[in-house]
Amino acid sequence: MGTFLPQLQEVEARRDMLNEFRGYNHNLRIQDSEFFDMKNMTGLFYPVLAPRAPRGRVRKLAKPNGLFAHNKLAWVDETGFYYDGKRIGTVADSPKQIVAMGAYIVIFPDKMYFNTETGELKSLGARKTTSGTVRTTMCKVDGSDIAAATGNTEPQNPTNGQYWIDTSTTPHTLRLYSSITKTWNPVATTYAKIAAAGIGAGFSEYDGITISGMANADLNGEFTLHGAANDYIIITALVEAVATQTAAVTVERTIPDMEFITESENRLWGCNSDKHEIYACKLGDPTNWKSFIGTSVDSYAVTVGTTGNFTGACTHLGYVLFFKEDVIHKIYGNRPSNYQITNVNARGVQSGSDRSVVAVNETLFYKSKHDVCAYGAALPDSVSNALGQVGYHNAAAGACGARYFISMADASGRYSLFVYDTNYGTWHKEDDVQVKHFAQLGSDLYFINEADGYLYSVNGNITDYADGNARLEAGYDWYAETGDIGMESPDQKYISKLTMRVEVDDKALVRIQVKYDRRGDWEEIYRLNVASKRSFSVPFIPRRCDTMRLRFWGEGDFRLYSITKTTEQGSDV
């Protein structure tokens, strides 16, 4: 009888290919297609993993105070306001909020505007203080003077069109005699002309103004101009006698102090936390915030009852939104007579993150106290679970195509720039650049790096707005670190082989590293440094371990197409 060798049981092996890489996920348990940490990676080539493209370093700014895109790029550097690369004029040396309204670029808190068609940089407000004689008369709306009798009894033998100030009533009434009806009819609206050298310069009809210094106390306060020329203004008031004075009179068109500004339907909107008020300018006129004559073009103001400070403002899908940290104020209507404000108790904008409010396609994104929110037509939803348990603040954001760029600081003050791709719902982490100002112009996104003061282009454009310092970014490194590979393998299974399909550009350096069981240093298992663009299939046989992590690190262009994992059954030992 023959002797047989022992029969060995065939080891069961399984091969799994991963060919979709979904970006950054900084949680303890993540998918094999995600990366626990990364630097300077992009999702533009999804599902392939790749480093981002070089940015364009456009120009150096001495002290950047603001950045904005209209038809051209605008910025504030120290006290200079620039449009299309040219210095236009002088503003205060302070951080700016800039918003567009038609041909105007409006600058706060300076309360100035730049007319892109005429090239003028002017103040929104106006102020004039007289230095000579001020004469006050009763007049018609066209400014022609009116002579009127005064008394508590009507004049005898009146003529048609004669005026009489009836002092028998309180307040006194201006009346006009009609020879047809033989009656003294009350004049519904009375006008007063205040005349002085230069008193009306800079003002226009229907401006909302404030007057102070008049000897007649009834002429001090807020009024709407019904006429204005260089040497006079016309307001609604009853002046019973011609009066003169030499004491100075001040006429002022004021702009409210506002923290956050937005534009909607040819009006600017703003808010004031101290007064709990929301304002809108006159239709088509950002210089007028107190013009109230009872028409659809009037200015608008309202007090809100919610507690806390305003934290941001924007216009989205035709509605004006004002945020607090836990409330969203939504304004409905198309004219002052039908404006309505609803309060939604929901996650609002985090204090200090007002610049994170950016619309990408039809969705609004912003940083709330605890997460990054996507706000459509209903309630905000969190999209930032992949950012892990790290708390961020002081966020600023911009949009480029379908991507949402957000720069924010963690609890230690370290900044990170993240990119959320709205098409695929993926996050990627770029670098530690601190950004306060983004501006999207056409298909490009510009930002200012707070550390070095340079204006950068995300897409690498160094042609527009460049100075002698312009250059394409070079020499930056990147990496992508996987989560724990093997954590999902029960029953003594182990990874016997990994094969990575990669592509490396000419003159690029790529290192593939491994760390076992989260201990020790990174071990280099493969290095790629070629003279011309090539693709590689990189095999790797790891040592027996519970878990491992891979890290791809390098400089230059790189593509990761797939990772194939071979898993085998081990012993019970």
Nearest-angstrom CA–CA distance, 397 and 366: 8
> DSSP string spanning 218-259?
GGSEEEE-SEEETTEEEEE----S-EEE-S--EEEE-----S
The pairing of strands 148-151 and 163-166 is parallel
CB 228 within 8 A of CB 234: yes
CB 474 within 8 A of CB 54: yes
End-to-end CA distance of the chain: 36
Q: Read off the tokens for 471.
A: 């250059």
What region does 39 belong to: left with phi over 0, alpha with psi -120 to 50, or beta?
beta
Q: What is the pLDDT of residue 4?
A: 63
7 CB-near residues (< 8 Å, 6+ apart): none
CB 556 within 8 A of CB 479: no
Nearest-angstrom CA–CA distance, 528 and 526: 7
Q: Is 218 helix (H, G, I), strand (E, B) or coil?
A: helix
pLDDT mean values, one per 10 residues, the chain (573 residues): 57 78 94 95 96 96 96 97 97 97 97 97 96 96 93 93 93 94 94 96 95 96 96 95 96 97 97 97 96 94 96 96 97 95 96 97 96 91 96 97 97 97 97 97 96 95 91 93 77 74 91 91 91 83 86 94 81 51
Residue the block writes with tokens 């197409």:
561
In the β-sheet with 444-449, what is the strand arrangement from edge to edge?
435-441, 444-449, 454-457, 56-60, 471-472
CB 488 within 8 A of CB 18: no
Nearest-angstrom CA–CA distance, 9 and 1: 24
Residue the block writes with tokens 């105007």:
104
Cα 557 from chain centroid? Answer: 33
Q: What is the pLDDT of residue 429?
A: 98
Nearest-angstrom CA–CA distance, 94 and 560: 45
Other Cβ atoms within 10 Å of 34 Cβ, number:
20
Backbone phi, psi, residue 218, to 5°: -70, -15
Q: What is the pLDDT of residue 493?
A: 63
